[in-house]
Each structure stands twice: as structure tokens, then as C-alpha cells.
Homo-oligomer: A and B are copies of this chain.
Amino acid sequence: MIGKLNNLIKKTGAPVCVGLDPDLGNIPPVLLKKAFDAGGKTLEAAASAVWSYNKTIIDHIYDLVPAVKPQSAMYEQLGLPGVAVFKKTIDYCHQKGLVVIGDVKRGDIGSTSAAYATAHLGKVELDGVLTSPFGEDFSTVNPYLGSDGIKPFLQVCAKEGKGIFVLVKTSNPSSGEFQDRLVDGRPLYEHVAEKVDEWGSGLMEDGYSEVGAVVGATYPEVGRTLRKLMPRTCLLVPGYGAQGGKAEDLKDYFNEDGLGAIVNSSRGIIAAWKKDAYASYGQEAFGEAARQATVDMIEDLKKAWQR
């Protein structure tokens, strides 16, 4: 799957992932009102608004970018109807040719981690019949439980030609509380990074590994170090835009071949209609605002990744 992702990055000229985080506050009120008027103030109605919102965003950005990243939490908070829209969004993105990174941050041990890997990347066996439960292309995975939690994902990745992004250094202010603590004189995230490189060594495609790493845009000096520690790893970079990460800080997240990183933006694109810069579109044209914000982000990132 990393080969497909890299090819799409080259084809679009955009190392960009659009985060589909449909928090209700990001959805234009006119869209929510329409849904509540039609279906009452129910989870079903809210989920139907999320679906219209997602579909419009996807229709406006699918030809510009290689990948999207639906954030599971935003769908789970709408209960079962929300989870149904998570699945519908994955399927629609696939129809549109996008790579889908399920931002689920799962992580458990042994047979439980195997079940998560099956749920999101694999196929469950029902008396000999194989069925795909959610069918993302990549999952984000939490490493706190160690190799026992990661290996079942690696097995599914090998079988299905899929990949994962392991949390190494997240973009949030308190990421340092545990991730930065010194172990043998070096921050814990460096030890995790070494494991990521090791876990990926058996899953290579065109020089890159199916085991990527989440490395926040908000700590550029850390990104530089981690780039070197994981030369064959694709970095999934949250924190650009809304959280303060800037394009010029991201130069060293990329390899010499211009690959090796994909930068995510969620609110900056899907809620562009709320930003002063795109206010002229108005809430009804939130799709056009999202498209323009995507074009602008790709242009901005050229500073970082073109050599």
C-alpha cells in the first residue's frame, strides 16, 4: 500500500492528506439544521448531516490529493449511525480512488490486537468465507503495549498488502510527558522510532516500508532526528496549520527523493469556510472553500518538499 500511496503523491504532486474529522462544530449550521428538521435531533439525523458534509468535501478534493484520514472518534461520538457513516465514507473514498488512513489509534495485545487489525485492515473468516469489516488501507496504531500489540498488525499488513502508522511523537503540547522522557540518555520516541524501523524491515515496497510513523509538525527539530532514524519510513505529519506547524519547518521531514512524508490537515481544509481567508465562499459553498484551501496548502508545501 505504501507503493500506491507514493505513486499517488508523485502523480498529484501533493504530499497531502485531508483529515475527515467531522466534529459537529465544523459542519455548516445550514446543513445541520436541514438534517435536524428532516430527522429530528437524533444521532441518525446528525450522522446524515456528517455524510452529506463528507461527500461534498470528498467530491471537491479527491482529484487533488492522494489520501484522506477519517478520525474514528468523530464518528463514534454519533454512536452506531456515526460508525455507519465512517464505513460509508471509507467506501466512497475508495470509489474515488483515494487511499484511506483510518485514524483509529488502536493498540492492544495478542488476539485482541489481531482482532483490531482484522477489523480495520483485514478480513474476518466466517466458516470459510472471508469478509472485510471496515476495509481501510492504513491504520494508526498506539505502541505503548510493545511488539505484542504491533505484530498482529504486521501479519495482516503482509497478507493484505496494507500498512500502519505508529504513533512516535504526537503534535500535542503534552506529548512530551511520556514520549520525551529520557531512556538511556535519549527520548523515548527515539526508541519507538528504532522499533518502527525494525518492524518495517520485512515489509518493504519500492524502498519504503508499510510501517509508517506519526510525527507531529509542531516539533521540527524532532522531525529532523526522526527522519534520520527511520530513513525508509513514511511520516504522517499532523499539526500543520491549526496546531501551528509551518511548511518551511517541514523541509527535513522529506527525503531527498521528495517522498517520505505526508502532511495532514483537517480543520484547515474541511472547516475552511469558517476561516477569514475563505469567508467569501459562505457556508453553503464549504466544498469550494475546502478545495481552495487544499490548493493553497499544496502550494505552501512546495516550499518544503520540492528540491
Among B113, B120, B179, B183, the residue within 8 A (CB) of A146 is: B179
Interface contact B126-A148, CB-CB below 8 Å: no
- Which A residues, 131 to 157, have Cβ-Cβ distances below 8 Å to chain B? 131-134, 142-149
- Please tell me which stretch of A77-85, A248-256, A277-285 contacts chain B, meaning at least 4 of its Cβ atoms lie within 8 angstroms of it: A77-85
Q: Given A105-B107, A144-B143, is A77 in contact with B124 using a C-beta cutoff of 8 Å?
A: yes
Q: Please tell me the size bucket of the interface on A.
A: 35 or more
Q: How far is the CA of A14 from the CA of B135 in the complex (A)?
A: 41
Chain B's nearest CB lies how many Å from the CB of A158?
18
Asked if A12 lies at the interface with its beta carbon under 8 angstroms from chain B, I say no
Instruction: Give the number of copies in the complex.
Output: 2
Among B23, B43, B119, B149, the residue within 8 A (CB) of A79 is: B119
Name which residue of chain B comes closest to A182, CB basis: B183
Interface contact A110-B142, CB-CB below 8 Å: no
Among B80, B132, B195, the residue within 8 A (CB) of A177 is: B195
Q: How far is the CA of A59 from the CA of B213 in the complex (A)?
A: 44
Chain B's nearest CB lies how many Å from the CB of A134?
6
A143 contact set on B, CB distance < 8 A: 144, 178
Chain B's nearest CB lies how many Å from the CB of A31?
12
Further pairs besides A24-B124, A105-B108, A181-B183: 8, Cβ < 8 Å: A33-B127, A36-B127, A74-B115, A76-B115, A76-B134, A79-B119, A80-B83, A146-B178
A-B contact pairs, 10 of them (CB 8 A): A71-B115, A77-B115, A77-B116, A77-B118, A79-B87, A145-B170, A145-B174, A147-B174, A178-B191, A181-B184
